Every structure is written in structure tokens, then in C-alpha cells.
A = this chain, B = another copy of it.
Amino acid sequence: MSGWSRILESVPNFSEGRDRAVIERLTAPFRDRPGVKLLDCQSDENHNRSVITAVGEPEALAAAVLEAMEAAVAAIDLRRHRGQHPRLGAVDVVPFIPVKGLSMTEAVAVSRRVAEEAARRFRLPVFLYEESASAPHRRNLADIRKGQFEGLPEKLRRPEWLPDFGPAEAHPTAGAAVVGARMPLIAFNVNLGCDRLEVAEEIARRVRHIGGGLRFCKAIGVALRDRGIVQVSMNLTDYTRTALYRAFELVRIEAARWGVPVVGSEIVGLVPLAALVDAASYYLRLEGFRAEQVLESRIYE
């Protein structure tokens, strides 16, 4: 069995969550393709949006993503698109995430190649975001997407919102796309043994970056009404620099001010192996542990 030495992940978001035939055309490029594996496709009818998760060797994955973008541009008409989720185009956003054997710099290079080729082939304005952004004000997806598809004609007239690639004019049916590389995001929630939402909200304010907390942590307070407890719900946007255990311990320390215990935690969705190895290493005080010592990593190397 020969594994992949380099693994890239992509989680493209398309503005179609209802029409099964179209969704099938969006996922098809990721199926039965050497060097690519489709992990998931979640379609939401209310959002009218589909989120595909796929991994693969960088070149093969990039080719699959471009094919899916082509299918989306051909099939989705934003002039008639209604849904609860904000969107800028048929291909709304295409993040690339380095998983194994390649650096962020290499993931950025792949995202730029895909953005450039998509702009040329589909006559689509494409913005680079996150780690691939060409200017600080273009890093944040929400800022790029502000005004949505309907606001594109006006937005594209402003010099600070010229696209990175493609025409300075919205594609008539497909709008514009956002492409870039980012770190994997970990959804990590810490449960508190109390029912006062204001406590969870106050702790969230203290641990998150904008409140003076951890650099790669976003957080809000949430009530779990069925369990009668509250939760600090976090997104860790770079677990290699803001570690899982650090976020956990900081919530615990802040909760102690109210005499509130941490009663549990949960990881929602996928988590990179390295984030868990890092947590185990911290608590067990492991010296010199290498990820290659994990049996499973050797099997698939």
C-alpha cells in the first residue's frame, strides 16, 4: 500500500443546497479520482449551500477543485439564489488547508494557482483571503463578502476591492469567488458546571483574542438548556500556536474566579492528530515524542 507523502485538504462552499442533480455534479470531480478522497458533503436547504470536504495530493486535489468550480459556474445562477447564508458567488469560498508533508507557504501557492486558473478559465473575479491575502484588509472572509452578490457591481468599482485575479466586473450568474489557504480550525467547547449564561459569556470575552486572550481563539458563551449548564464555545484557528490544552486550562482558571468547575469538553467535527498528541504530551510531560511514533502514522506513511 503506497500512501500520500503530501496531503492537502479543501473545503469548498457552493451556493446550492437543494437541487440534488447539481450537488451531484459538484461532488463528482472528487469521486474515483486517483490521489483524491471525498470525505464529506453537507447540503443545507435553509442556507441553500453545500460544503464539500476532500483531501488529496496537492496537484490532484487542485484539479478536482477546479473541475467542481467549473460545474458550479455552469449550473448555479446567483440572480435567482435565495438562502439564509451570506454568499458572494456560485463558488462562494474555497479554503485549502495543509494537513501533512507540506507547509503553509506551499498551500498558499496551490491556492494562488487555483485562483488564477479559475479567473482565467471562467472569467470570474477571484479574491485571495486568509494566509493567501494580498493585503491585510482582505484577510477576513466576512469583509470580502460584505454586500454579497448583489453588492458586487458597486464593490468592484472601489480600488481597494479590485479582485486579485480576473475581470473587475462580476460574472453575470456566478458573481465572484474567494480562494485561500488557512490552518485547520478546531471547534472546541468547554462545559461549565453552572447555569448562568453571563459567566460563560464573561469567560469567553477573557479567553478570546479580541478581548485580550489567546491569539488564535474565538469564543462565545452558549446555554445548553437541555442539560441546564453553560458552555464556552471556541474556534481555535491555529492549534499549532494556540494549543487545545492552553485554551482548556485558561477557561478552567477563569472559571475558578466564580467557583465554577469545568465539567467536560467536546470537539465538534474533525481534529488533526497532532493537536491531540500535543495535549497528551503536555499532560504526560512527554519528552521528545515524535508523531511518527504513532503506530497508525507509520502504516500509512
Contacts and interface: CB of A to CB of B under 8 A. Distances in A.
Interface of A: 1, 3-4, 7, 9, 34-35, 37, 39, 55, 99-100, 184, 191, 244-245, 248, 262-267, 269-273, 276-277, 279-280, 282-289, 293-300
Interface class of chain A by DSSP: mixed
A101 to B, nearest CB: 12
- How many monomers of this protein are in the complex? 2
Contact of A263 (B266, B283, B285): B285
B284 A245 contact: yes
A35 B1 contact: yes
Nearest to A35: B1
Contacts of A191: 287
A270 B293 contact: yes
Nearest to A298: B39
A244 B284 contact: yes
Nearest to A299: B55
A263 B287 CA distance: 9
A188 to B, nearest CB: 8
